[in-house]
Amino acid sequence: MPVTAQHPSEIAIEDYQYDLPEDRIARFPLEQRDASKLLIYRQGKIVEDKFQNLVDYLPEDALMLFNEAKVVHARLYFYKQTGGKLEIFCLEPDSRYADITTAMNEQNSVYWKCLVKGAGKWRNDDVATLEVNYTDQQHQKVTLKATAQKIEHIGNSFIIRLDWHTDQNVPMSFAEFLEYAGKLPIPPYLKREAQASDEVQYQTIFAEKEGSVAAPTAALHFTPKVVERLTKKNITLEKLTLHVGAGTFMPVKSDTMAGHEMHAEWIDVSREVIHRVLTTVKEDRKIIAVGTTSARTLESLYWIGLQICRHEWSDEKLHSIAVQQWYPYGRTEEFSTEEVLQALIQYLDDRHYERIVTRTQLIIAPGYTFKLLHGLVTNFHQPASTLLLMVSALIGEQWKEIYRYALNHDFRFLSYGDGSLIWK
């Protein structure tokens, strides 16, 4: 990657625009996930294939990391006392909760950071209501009622108190409440309502950890058959978690990146996975991240470990933001990658932690030096997006060549589109 003289905050987002015709956006996925097209980019060369043949372009003994985040039904529809409709989009838990898992397990009441469509006409003392009927797993008909109340206004979002109960008076977690009362939040650029097929198609086969408002879409192409071929080639598959926030859809509105505040997202990685990464580094084997979310999580682990090495870390950062937006830029190489990862593992061992759960605000843009990642499996991203900046950070100006090729060869774009394998 060419050395970028300017600080990434000085990058003009206009330089990452390209013309994406509406008919190139995949509104629906292919019926067979791994039938998607696959673009492979390595050392200046582009090859085209089917995703089901991904294994043919990966080295043996590589480590491949997947995001096991699961999309929740984050879109809720309440009614004001006047009868007006409110759309409440659940973003992330309030800061009073230690992490997303804790908050998702809260029963009958929760405080959540939300976007609210129609908030301007929603009085502070107006308690909005919701009522849905469903059939539970015991085939009993259940009525679920809920209320929503504004607690605090923060920027363009609100802290909302949500309370719910059923006519069966059975305790219900927030995760269960969303499952029954909410709607799946498919990306806005699909310009359609979620359909029954999206319930399956918009979840990866690795989805387990509830809390995301968007899918880690690069993994949507994977099928059990693709996974079987990977394992037969002795490729190690490991899972980590980044709960994808709505910020992934937020356009960069400032002229330069200095005016853009990167969204912070929860990550959750086990000590076992970190140790696997360390072993892979020691043995000089390749590490491939499936999706920009996995890449962001992986690279964040390095910067947390570096802060520990530099005595800049404090336990409080676990409950706030572990990696600030611009922290990695301008840093000197003081410690080896092995030392950094070992320091992170030692930190967990000293506290008897089995996993690290925290938030990252890391932005990966041109000028970034990847510390752990060698290859990236990803989709084709929106113009002028932070995701496109990550691709450019990996391969430089060649991103234009790749996207030009994809547009000229009938590749499908965005969440339900085709995939690519890009090597650093």
* Cα 243 from Cα 245, distance rounded (Å): 6
Residues 44-80: tens digit of each pLDDT? 999 999 999 999 999 999 999 999 999 999 999 999 9
pLDDT for residue 5:
58
The pLDDT of residue 331 = 82
- Say yes or no: 128 and 168 in one domain: yes
Taking the C-alpha atoms of residue 405 and residue 390, their distance in angstroms, rounded to an integer, is 19
Q: Same domain for 169 and 283?
A: no
Dihedral through CA 310, CA 316, CA 317, CA 320, nearest 10?
-160
Residue 191 maps to a domain: no
Total domains present in the chain: 2
* pLDDT for residue 137: 79
Judgement on whether residues 131 and 66 belong to the same structural domain of the protein? no
Q: Is residue 415, in this structure, part of any structural domain at all?
A: yes
Q: Two tokens at 145?
A: 């009622």
Q: Residue 13 and residue 16: Cα distance in Å, rounded? A: 5
| pLDDT value of residue 214 | 94
Extract the tokens encoding 399: 């991103």
* 190-215 mean pLDDT: 95
Backbone angles phi, psi at 291, to 5 degrees: 100, 155
Instruction: Confirm if 68 and 238 have CB atoms less than 8 A apart.
Output: no
Structure confidence by residue, pLDDT tens digits, 343-402 = 999 999 999 999 999 999 999 999 999 999 999 999 999 999 999 999 999 999 999 999
What's the domain range around 152?
Answer: 74-183
Mean per-residue pLDDT over the chain, rounded = 94
Evaluate if residue 1 carries a pLDDT over 60.
no
Does the residue 189 lie in any domain? no
Position 157 in a domain:
yes
Residue 188 falls inside a structural domain: no
The verdict on residue 134 lying in a domain is yes
Q: Is the per-residue pLDDT at 164 higher than 70?
A: yes
Q: Does 143 share its domain with 36?
A: no
pLDDT tops 70 at residue 4? no
How high is the pLDDT of residue 3? 46
pLDDT at 368: 96
Q: 274 with 351, same domain? A: yes
Q: Is the same domain home to 302 and 336?
A: yes
Residues 14 and 95 in one domain: no
Amino acid at 264: A
Q: Is residue 400 part of a domain?
A: yes
Q: Domain check: are 99 and 63 in the same one?
A: no
Residue 167 lies in a domain: yes
Q: What is the pTM of this model?
A: 0.93
Note whether 172 and 241 are same-domain residues.
Answer: no
Per-residue pLDDT, 117? 92
Q: Which of 123, 148, 183 is a domain's end point?
A: 183
Give the C-alpha separation, 12 to 19, whole Å. Answer: 17
Is 22 a residue whose pLDDT tops 50?
Answer: yes
pLDDT score, position 136: 81
**Higher-confidence residue: 248 or 303?**
303
Q: Which of 183, 207, 222 is the last residue of a domain?
A: 183
Residue 2 has pLDDT above 70, yes or no: no
- 90 in the same domain as 32: no
Residue tagged 């933001």 (tokens)? 321
The pLDDT value recorded for residue 249 is: 65
Per-residue model confidence (pLDDT) at position 333: 76
Residue predicted with more confidence, 289 or 333: 289
- pLDDT tens per residue, range 86-103: 999 999 999 999 999 999
